[in-house]
Structure 1
């Protein structure tokens, strides 16, 4: 049997350990509560700074962000790629709005639009955009500009509301069958959840990411860009990473049994990034082979060629030395493509 003095000594040690653990738990809890309060206050300040009430439109009970500038018809409407806010179009919108009206918007879960957690589908996205434009008082005809997954969504919109559309620009657009036709390992990787988003999703509401200024390390804009601070503010929203995660899940729907619908004689410009993924092997998982990435590059070009063939009035341009984000790398190329469509529409 343990001597009573020894038992009391050990019991006292355990009590002190318990007290220390309780103190640490209290300190951590207070810090998290303080961080969460700071995060909520800062989010409210950011929204009042960057979001006008005129840019918020209710769609089926969900508040969505739409920013339109310029005057003239047709109106150019931009659809962003997966997980990216409408702010990425700022330079192109600024240029196009000198000629006609130009509208950018954030899908639900993204940017300044409300977070719902729902995975987007082509039909839902097309219907939501149509309702958004209608509720905002915007009117057809439209030229649709879609980047990446946004290209699938603008084609879905055209299939449902073809009488409203007079032209289209696709920027390194996704294809309705790409998940089924790309190399299996590549398609699985492209559609998989990114673990970093789960960590970010948990930390963001505590204010930790804002305090550490992680957004400044994540922006693709330089500090002298007019939208630099706003993009950091978007990143600092509590739902940012959860929203990106939900939006990226839309990629898993790209396994349609049939390809996209014909666009007939619709004026169409297809812009394809010339940079090859096989030239950037180190950016991919270690088990990815050079041969597989080369196969993926060939398939991507094949899919892009199919998109260009959707219209009998199309132009396919492979833009050399740019990444998937052509509109950020070389915005002037996109501006020229839009103005090309505008010229055709005006002449016709």
Structure 2
């Protein structure tokens, strides 16, 4: 399997399907393929459709696949209030219904996106046929992996500083925070995608959303923690764990790594058909080892279609 952005990288530089999810709000969906069941891809913290560029086209050869930008990120309209996992799942379900994309779904989530897809599966089991968790965590990771929590708190402080600069119009590619956190232009991305990412990162609403989403992850609703522990019956479930932690900004302590892998074991144990697999790469598995993600999705799809 050869992974390349050559198919149409510039599609990630513009909105694809803007679906209404509320008054004056739309969610950006990227839909590929046709066969059922539909696979839904949820990116990690601050991620979006671009994060799945090396996965989605390959899964779309055998299934309809949907990726999306959460509200305020990518090309989705911003919204007020807390940006909890519950709120994001609610918006996603509304968008899927508005786009006439019916369940059942095979849900796939990376990092924080896995937490949200797990919540979706636990709270709406009648809509979910399978689940793939890609180096994700449980809702109470803030307590269980304190080093990760501190790293995210430090990042929010940087975002607050960047937000002030964005509002003043001084957040430029020469700014030290921009260089350290954004790092554009990036090799391998087209000029149009680099420009779209620059416009997003210098938009005050984008940075405000980044801060609020981080706070939502750090302070989950009680219902989110409870849902994380709810048995998933015999739901087809694959949990992927990254083997390399040396360069991960959020999971670089041995104690946090142990907690992270324990969470993965607990997630896999929630289903009688749950398995956990280690992938030889870092945390960003959809980019570093997309083949592993595609194979996990295809494995779950095969089980779903046999039953």
Q: Which moved more, 1:57-66 or 1:222-231?
A: 222-231
Query: Matches of residues 24-35 of structure 1 in structure 2 within 5 Å?
Result: none
Cα distance change on mapping 1:73 and 1:109 into 2, 3 Å: same
Give yes or no for contact 2:173–2:184 (8 Å, CA) kept in 1: no
Cα distance change on mapping 1:273 and 1:195 into 2, 3 Å: same
Query: 2 CA distance for matches of 1:221 and 1:336?
Result: 27
User: What is the count of residue pairs matched by the alignment?
Assistant: 290
Cα distance change on mapping 1:255 and 1:296 into 2, 3 Å: farther
Q: Are 2:67 and 1:104 equivalent residues in the alignment?
A: yes
Cα distance change on mapping 1:232 and 1:339 into 2, 3 Å: farther
Greater per-residue helix proportion: 1
C-alpha RMSD over aligned residues: 3.0
Q: Which moved more, 1:203-212 or 1:265-274?
A: 203-212
Query: Matches of residues 36-55 of structure 1 in structure 2 within 5 Å?
Result: 50-52=14-16, 55=17
Over alpha carbons, which structure has the higher Rg?
1
Q: Are 2:209 and 1:243 equivalent residues in the alignment?
A: yes
Q: Report the TM-score, using the length of structure 1 for normalisation.
A: 0.74
Cα distance change on mapping 1:122 and 1:196 into 2, 3 Å: closer
Q: Which moved more, 1:223-232 or 1:65-74?
A: 223-232
- 1:332, distance to aligned residue in structure 2 (A): 1.0
Q: Are 2:157 and 1:195 equivalent residues in the alignment?
A: yes
- 1:260, distance to aligned residue in structure 2 (A): 2.3
Q: Are 2:269 and 1:309 equivalent residues in the alignment?
A: yes
Alignment equivalent of 1:252, drawn from 203, 208, 218: 218
Aligned position for 1:262: 231
Query: 1 CA distance for matches of 2:118 and 2:237?
Result: 11
Query: 1 CA distance for matches of 2:207 and 2:66?
Result: 24
Aligned position for 2:141: 178
- 1:121, distance to aligned residue in structure 2 (A): 2.0
Give yes or no for contact 1:64–1:107 (8 Å, CA) kept in 2: yes
Consecutive unaligned residues of structure 2, counting only runs of 5 or more, are 1-9
Give yes or no for contact 1:117–1:242 (8 Å, CA) kept in 2: no
Query: 1 CA distance for matches of 2:173 and 2:86?
Result: 39
Instruction: Note the alpha carbon deviations across 1:296-343, whole angstroms, 9 max, x for none.
Output: 1111111111011111112211112x2211111111110111111111
Cα distance change on mapping 1:232 and 1:95 into 2, 3 Å: farther
Give yes or no for contact 1:191–1:251 (8 Å, CA) kept in 2: no
Query: 1 CA distance for matches of 2:187 and 2:104?
Result: 32
Aligned position for 1:19: none
Query: 2 CA distance for matches of 1:166 and 1:130?
Result: 15
Give yes or no for contact 1:177–1:254 (8 Å, CA) kept in 2: yes
Alignment equivalent of 1:327, drawn from 283, 286, 294: 286
Cα distance change on mapping 1:336 and 1:188 into 2, 3 Å: same
SS at match of 1:112: coil
